[in-house]
Amino acid sequence: MPGKMVVGYDGSPAARRALDYAVAAAKAQNASLVIAHVLEWSPYSFLTKEEVEERHMRRTQELERAETHVIGPVREKLEKSGLGIETAIRYGHSAEILLKIASDTGGTQIVVGRDGNGGLAARMFGSTAGTLVQIATLPCTIVP
């Protein structure tokens, strides 16, 4: 059975490297791709009254922007590659949602990029790649 790779993609240089790697690997393994974009979101953060009021509008805008500027161009570019491509745009915690997308779409492995900043911020707040390694139930590839 051909595999399905879930690639975390946010348009950053690290994400592009991950995508390039996944495309090459998918071609070699005859696998298909799920390009997943996660908009970081916690239902437990605090909002002002105006933010509450405008949230639905902003969410719609954010989803549109994600589609036209992040996922759309990639889908277009890869359409000619002959690979099976699915896309997903979701809200939530990046690592958790990537896993969720993998289980929803029947993914067999996850590919994410890493920006290589092992600084204080990453230590304090964790990184998507780091968290993913901790909680993943599927094989993960971290592309440096």
Contact residues for other proteins (CB under 8 A)? Answer: 39, 41, 43-57, 59-60, 62-63, 90-92, 100
What distance in Å separates the CA atoms of residue 32 and residue 88, rounded to the nearest whole number? 14
CB atoms under 10 Å from CB of 111, counted, come to 28
For other proteins, give the closer residue by CB, 84 or 92: 92
How near is the Cβ of 87 to other proteins at its closest, in Å?
15
* DSSP-derived 3-state class of residue 114: coil
- CA dist 82 and 27 (Å) reads 9
In angstroms, give the least distance from the CB of 110 to other proteins: 18
Q: Which is nearer to other proteins, 85 or 91 (CB)?
A: 91
Considering the complex, what minimum distance in angstroms separates the CB of residue 49 from other proteins? 5
CB 24 within 8 A of CB 111: no
Phi, psi of 109 (to 5 degrees): -155, 160
As measured in angstroms, the least distance from the Cβ of 42 to other proteins is 9
Tokens for 139, please give them: 């094989």
In the complex with other proteins, the residue whose CB is nearer, 17 or 41, is: 41
Closer residue to other proteins, CB minimum distance, 83 or 91: 91
